[in-house]
Each structure stands twice: as C-alpha cells, then as structure tokens.
Amino acid sequence: MTATTATLPRHPVLADVLPGTRTRDAVLVCAGALLTVLGAQISIHIPPSPVPVTGQTLAVVIAGAALGAKRGAASQVLYLVLGLMLPVYADGEQGFDVIWGATGGYLVGFVVAAWLIGRLAEAGADRKPLVAFAAFCLGQLAIFGIGVPWLKVSTGMEWGDAIHYGFAIFIVGGIIKAIVGAVAVPAAWRGVQALDRP
C-alpha cells in the first residue's frame, strides 16, 4: 500500500526553524503572499496565448516548500484576496474579472499547488534536490491541471489549443522554475543545518 499525502509523516519545514507561533505564522503567510505579488511583476506574454509567463509559479513553489501545507495555501488565498482589491495580479490587474477570466484557474491552482508542495515538504521532500525537483514539478502540474480546463471554458478554445497555449508552451519554464526551487530550498536547509552545528 502506498502512502497518501494525508498519511505522510510530518517533518519540520523551513518556517518551523523560526521561533514563535501565531504571530510568526501570520507574518510568514503575509510574506508568502508578498513573494507571489513580486513574482507577478515578472510577466512575459507569448502571443497568441492569453496566459503570460510569470514568476508567480516559482513563488508558489518556494512558499509551499518553506511554509508547509496550511501556511503555504493560506499565503496563496491571501494573494487571491489581495488581488480582488489591489492591482497585484500579473500585468497590474485586479478584480473578480481576472478570477473568472482566462488566467483565473491558474490563480486558484496556486492554492492547491502550495498545499501539495507544502505537504510533500512536510514529508521531507524538500531536503534533497532530485526529490524536491519532482515535488515541485508535481505542484506545478496541479496548477496546470486546474488552469487549462478553466482556460478552455473561459475562452471557448478547443482542447488542443488550450493544452498548447495553456500548458505546452510553459513546460520548459516550469522545469527551470522547479530546478531553481530544487537548488534553493535544499541549500537553505544545508544553511540551517550548518548553523545548528556546534
């Protein structure tokens, strides 16, 4: 029998290294949302796709791995809520129209991906680069798994076009982001372990 994410053991994540409880968690959730806001400022359009390449998915990977499932998902919920009132989505957009539009599924997918990556990190998947890379790719697939059908429905695209313009053209970028995360997060753990040594 294989373990599910619900039955995986709970290991500390990077956020747990910091002292504190509720105040720390609130600050970290805000920091995760802010990281996603910053990632949204990197936005590159690849016509005719209505979905831009952004730094958001890297932010989701880092937030999920560093904060764990609940805090990581909460940071992305906070990002979504902020975007309803402030121009923090990609290209300075805001409001419910973005959520209901072509890119809305990806934004909702951020919450799912952050939770999934966070849960895998809680199982220790963020400690070694290769395992972290696989976990981060899986998290990004969750984003596309919600984003592509949402794109198809919101735009009326054919499935082939939705898969091409909503997923296929982002594969290389997604792999690069997973590599960056898989280098950065285990490196952060090595730094923490080095500080703990006498």
Query: Cα separation of 162 and 43, whole Å?
Result: 19
Residue 64: in which H helix or E strand, if any?
helix 56-67
Residue 8 pLDDT > 70: no
Q: How many C-beta neighbours within 10 Å does residue 159 have?
A: 10
Query: What CATH number is given for 14-196 in this structure?
Result: 1.10.1760.20
List the chain domain ranges: 14-196
Pair of tokens at residue 162: 């939705």
Residue 1 pLDDT > 70: no
- pLDDT above 70 covers a percentage of the chain that reads 94
Distance between start and end Cα atoms, the chain: 41
Residue 198 pLDDT > 70: no
Per-residue pLDDT of 71-90, as tens digits, reads 999 999 999 999 999 999 99
The whole-number pLDDT of residue 122 equals 96
